[in-house]
Structure 1
Amino acid sequence: MSVVARPPIVTGALLVRMATVVASSIGFFLPFSVVPEYAERSAGPAVAGAANAALLVTTVAVELAAPALVARIGYRWALGLGLLALGAPTLVLLASSDAAVVIAVSALRGVGFAITVVAGGALTAELVPAERRGEGLALVGLVSGVSALVALPTGSWLAQVAGYGVVFAATAVVPIVSVLTVPFLPGRPAMAERVAAVKRAAGVERASGVERVAGVKRAAGVGAGLRTPALMWPAAIFAASAAGTGVLATFVPLAVRGGPIWLAPAALLAQSATAALARWVAGRAGDRRGHERLLLPGLLMSASGLAAVSLTSSSVSVLAGAAVFGAGFGVLQNATMTIMYARVHPEQFSTVSALWNAAYDSGMAAGAFAVGLLAPLTGYPPALLLTAALMAATLPLIPRARRSP
């Protein structure tokens, strides 16, 4: 019996793509917990939440329009413009901490991040073999997760020991320098490669029921994708978990400010580390056993972890909860993304990238904004616990998300 060799995941083009993954992750996460602290000093907790909410709301709005831009100008131009817009506006924060300036800069950075993740996500899906997509997306996700793992707590630590200016300068430099790698990426997928990808996808009929491309209605764009339950139910579940990420990254440094100085960076590090590891494990396990099976444990871990973080008077509870939440979030990251890509043809990859990233960022924005309004009234522990309860309330959506189209 002949053994069919599995196609390699790592290629030269994917390695170059990973350089932009690292740069965009650092550009996004390095200042994510720092900007709210910077804004709070001059304008209070409401503006602290509004800063990241502006970043994320703008990101979501532009993500929904970005597939059309990518189709018009191609991957290289889109990635280059996105990286520049993500990094350069941060330099303005070196001169002003005014609330309006902070929110405007955050909004401009959201535009850049949206273009970067939509173009980059579609390109990644093109570069990874369809039959190893879960594992390939997990690998790229691991690179992104490790970058976030380093960037998120490092930003909080750098702000304490070196000042906000160092964080903002680094946030600008890394994405701008990475633009130099963009010319080495594919501008657009070759037509022959697109046809081959469609043919490979059309023959996939996995026992897990995840990849059943034949017979799936082809979405015509983001609008059609929003009306496609096979895409929107997984996206909704992921958005619920993403809300917890927005809350943790924005408010943990503020919620535990009276505790040990190391607690906030350690909690952010624990969340990032377990998310990256769980995403990798979920990719390998899902390719073999079915990605739908991972939705329930991922959501349960996310909700229970955030509930534990709400016990802010206990350093052990905060650290353990952040780690459990991160694991659940990492599982849902890879499972929902792989499910959604498997349910469309390659020409709709930009649409899936836009919808998935919009779910990510809208969830983060909703969590950050809601807790920013609620915390001054209730305190941080009740606000965190309420977020966990709302996350758990999405459990009834899982059976719908599991259904194959």
Structure 2
Amino acid sequence: MTTSLDSSARQADPARPPLVTRALLLRFVSIVGASIGFNLLLSVVPLYAQESGGGEHAAGLATGALMLATVIGELATPALAARLGYRPVLAAGLVLLGAPALVLTATGSMAAVVAVCLLRGLGFAITIVAGGALTATLIPPERRGEGLALVGVVSGLPSLIGLPFGVWLAQHVGYGLVLTIGAVAPLAAVASVPALPNGARAGGPSVGIRQGLRSGGLLRPAVVFASTALAAGIIVTFLPLAVPSPGVVAVALLVQPGASTVARWLAGRHGDRRGSAGLVLPAVLASAAGVLLLARTADPVAVVAGAALFGLGFGAAQNATLMLMYARVPAAGFDTVTALWNVAYDGAMGVGAVAFGAVAGGAGYPWAFVLTAAVTLVALVPAWRDRGTASADA
């Protein structure tokens, strides 16, 4: 009897399609190459610009040029993908991300630094938008949440290592080697692109950036995610300045991305089985509560707990909002979704860091964190409106 029941259950619940396929493994090559190329030089180029005689504002100018080009590139890439297809656009993005860095091995002039940052920003934007859309087509729809979480881990590990290692390598070996590695990693990854499945844009109705910006089903999750990304940029930038103990800061900045990774994975598995809409409100509440705990900057336990709680909320928000947005467009709109989601990410991080600095300068860090938590809670309005929204609503 037990054998018969087990057999019937297996017939009623056929095995899910495999998640890690040859195509996805090939895509991981370009994901890792792009992540190494971007993150290894993210802090190194601004430092190089300043030490090359660019002055006090050189670092900010370099990062500003990089992020400006990234946002512009994210908005422009869907049109390029619609015309050329994902595969050639992804290859072009990897080249733009890598090759310009070699220029800095010969000159550290401010004009060269800005030009290189602009080109690398465009390249990075192209790789994450076109590459992200292509990745979504390689993941079975019924396992998309889990697949996106896995992709987040694959891209996140190089960033976790690359950011500190790049600065250490530059200080101990010199800028030439680290700039070369940062250039070669994405260039080498270009070799994997021709082996990917046909990069042509998937069929179905087109969803452009303008149409996406008019769609409440896409804008609401993007706004919710932006509220948490705003806080994430603030934490990374200002926690080392606000918390008096370097050891506590180190633990908090290790706990936060670790908790985010775990939450992304759990949110992905939950979303595949029960849907992602129910995760958005708890993610916002956890993010805001975590930031509020960080306002107790002199309390080590509160700081570490706040970083962990925010990480859980931020990771869940990352996966849930992106899942909802993908579910509300045909495959031909995946590049638009990827662009809007990444613009929300990068734009909110930049705006949050600038605004927080201005508030903290007058009111102090604890009150600035309290205000940040309040701003995050504003996202409860679009999150509530989006609760239970069906895919067809967009």
How far the C-alpha of 1:19 sits from its partner, in A, is 1.3
Whole-Å separation in 2 of the counterparts to 1:100 and 1:265 = 35
Aligned partner (choices 257, 262, 269) of residue 254 of structure 2: 269
> How many residues get paired?
378
Distance 1:246 1:185, change over 3 A: same
How far the C-alpha of 1:78 sits from its partner, in A, is 1.2
SS of alignment partner, residue 17 of structure 2: coil
Matches within 5 A, 1:134-213: 134-155=145-166, 158=169, 167-189=178-200
Match of 2:89 in 1: 78
RCO higher in structure (CA 8 A, sep ≥6): 1
How far the C-alpha of 1:79 sits from its partner, in A, is 1.3
User: Would you say the 8 A contact 1:75–1:120 is kept in 2?
Assistant: yes
Match of 2:209 in 1: 222
Amino acid at match of 2:273: R
Distance 1:52 1:304, change over 3 A: farther
Whole-Å separation in 1 of the counterparts to 2:133 and 2:285 = 29
Match of 2:263 in 1: 278
Whole-Å separation in 1 of the counterparts to 2:50 and 2:299 = 24
Query: Is 1:21 matched with 2:21?
Result: no
Amino acid at match of 1:147: P
How far the C-alpha of 1:165 sits from its partner, in A, is 5.7
Query: Is 1:341 matched with 2:330?
Result: no
Which segment is superposed worse, 367-376 or 218-227? 367-376
Query: Is 1:8 matched with 2:39?
Result: no
Match of 1:248 in 2: 235
How far the C-alpha of 1:100 sits from its partner, in A, is 6.0
Query: Is 1:289 matched with 2:274?
Result: yes
Query: Which 5+ residue runs of structure 1 have no aligned equivalent?
Result: 199-217
Q: TM-score, normalised by structure 1?
A: 0.81
Amino acid at match of 1:282: A
Match of 2:118 in 1: 107
Match of 2:373 in 1: 388
Whole-Å separation in 2 of the counterparts to 1:115 and 1:99 = 24
How far the C-alpha of 1:104 sits from its partner, in A, is 4.3
User: Would you say the 8 A contact 2:267–2:319 is kept in 1?
Assistant: yes
Match of 2:350 in 1: 365
User: Would you say the 8 A contact 1:145–1:275 is kept in 2?
Assistant: no
Distance 1:8 1:357, change over 3 A: same
Deviation track 1:64-117 (CA, whole Å, cap 9, x = no partner) reads 110111122222221121122223334455566666655544332221111001
Deviation track 1:179-216 (CA, whole Å, cap 9, x = no partner) reads 221121124259xxx57xx7xxxxxxxxxxxxxxxxxx
Match of 1:63 in 2: 74
Q: TM-score, normalised by structure 2?
A: 0.83
Distance 1:115 1:141, change over 3 A: same
How far the C-alpha of 1:373 sits from its partner, in A, is 4.9
Match of 1:304 in 2: 289
Identity %: 52
Deviation track 1:297-337 (CA, whole Å, cap 9, x = no partner) reads 21222223334445444555444433332222111111011
Aligned partner (choices 202, 218, 221) of residue 231 of structure 1: 218
Whole-Å separation in 2 of the counterparts to 1:273 and 1:64 = 30
Distance 1:393 1:38, change over 3 A: farther
Distance 1:108 1:381, change over 3 A: farther
